[in-house]
């Protein structure tokens, strides 16, 4: 997300659909995973439902990354050495200790760091440990389950951190953008996708 004040067509349809399906699948994974871990009886067949939600989340992530590759926006998601200097100023802006954010492109330094960790490190590890639990690999189911739980908790922390970032930079505008693609109703009526910048 950028911080442009003008009403832009910010998020493409693919971005909005994959974010929505990812979020719903993630919520389902947390619920069924907690049920399995606590041995509760909220839903029937929690393990099967957990696997279904996992497949949906993986599919949405693959589609999102593939779309970013095809549109040439994948590089914008990577955190690089040039982004290091912007970490502290961006953090201060989110904490309301700085009046304006540092200059950035489609994604600010904290977003790029989070996306790099989640998409290219944390998500693969969660999938790998999930598959290992299913196949009883790497030291047995209990040992792998602890790793899987740890990675899942880190993803939960990312989700809450992401929501804090969304809220502190304009909750209503950001939610409208991820639902309609536009940052404002005026932008929805006047902006044209062909001439507006779209964030993956």
Torsion angle of the four alpha carbons 118, 119, 125, 129, in this order, in degrees rounded to the nearest 10: 100
Please give the Cα distance from 123 to 163 (Å, whole number). Answer: 18
Residue 7, pLDDT score: 54
Q: Which residue has the tokens 């201060």?
A: 92
Residue 74, pLDDT score: 87
Phi-psi region of 138 (alpha: psi -120 to 50; beta: other; left: phi over 0): left
Nearest-5° Cα angle at 105, 14 to 93: 105
Residue 120, helix vs strand vs coil: helix
Flag residues of the chain having pLDDT under 70. 1-7, 135-140, 185-200
Residue 150, pLDDT score: 94
Please give the Cα distance from 185 to 7 (Å, whole number). Answer: 8
Pick the CATH number of 13-190 from 3.90.1170.40, 3.30.70.20, 1.10.3720.10, 1.20.950.20: 1.20.950.20
**What six digits make up the tokens of 120?**
């290219």
Supply the pTM of this predicted model. 0.78
């Amino acid at each position: 997300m950028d911080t442009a004040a003008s009403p832009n067509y910010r998020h493409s349809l693919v971005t909005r659909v994959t974010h929505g399906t990812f979020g719903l699948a993630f919520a389902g994974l947390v619920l069924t995973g907690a049920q399995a871990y606590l041995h509760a009886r909220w839903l029937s067949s929690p393990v099967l439902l957990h696997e279904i939600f996992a497949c949906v989340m993986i599919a949405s992530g693959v589609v999102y990354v593939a779309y970013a590759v095809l549109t040439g926006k994948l590089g914008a998601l990577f955190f690089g050495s040039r982004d290091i200097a912007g970490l502290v100023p961006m953090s201060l802006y989110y904490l309301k200790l700085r009046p304006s954010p540092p200059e950035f492109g489609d994604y600010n330094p904290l977003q790029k760091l989070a996306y790099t960790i989640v998409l290219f490190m944390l998500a693969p590890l969660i999938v790998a440990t999930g598959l290992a639990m299913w196949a009883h690999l790497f030291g047995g189911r209990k040992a792998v389950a602890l790793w899987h739980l740890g990675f899942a908790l880190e993803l939960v922390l990312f989700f809450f951190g992401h929501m804090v970032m969304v809220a502190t930079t304009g909750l209503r505008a950001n939610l409208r953008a991820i639902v309609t693609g536009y940052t404002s109703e005026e932008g929805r009526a006047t902006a044209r996708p062909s001439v507006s910048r779209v964030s993956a």
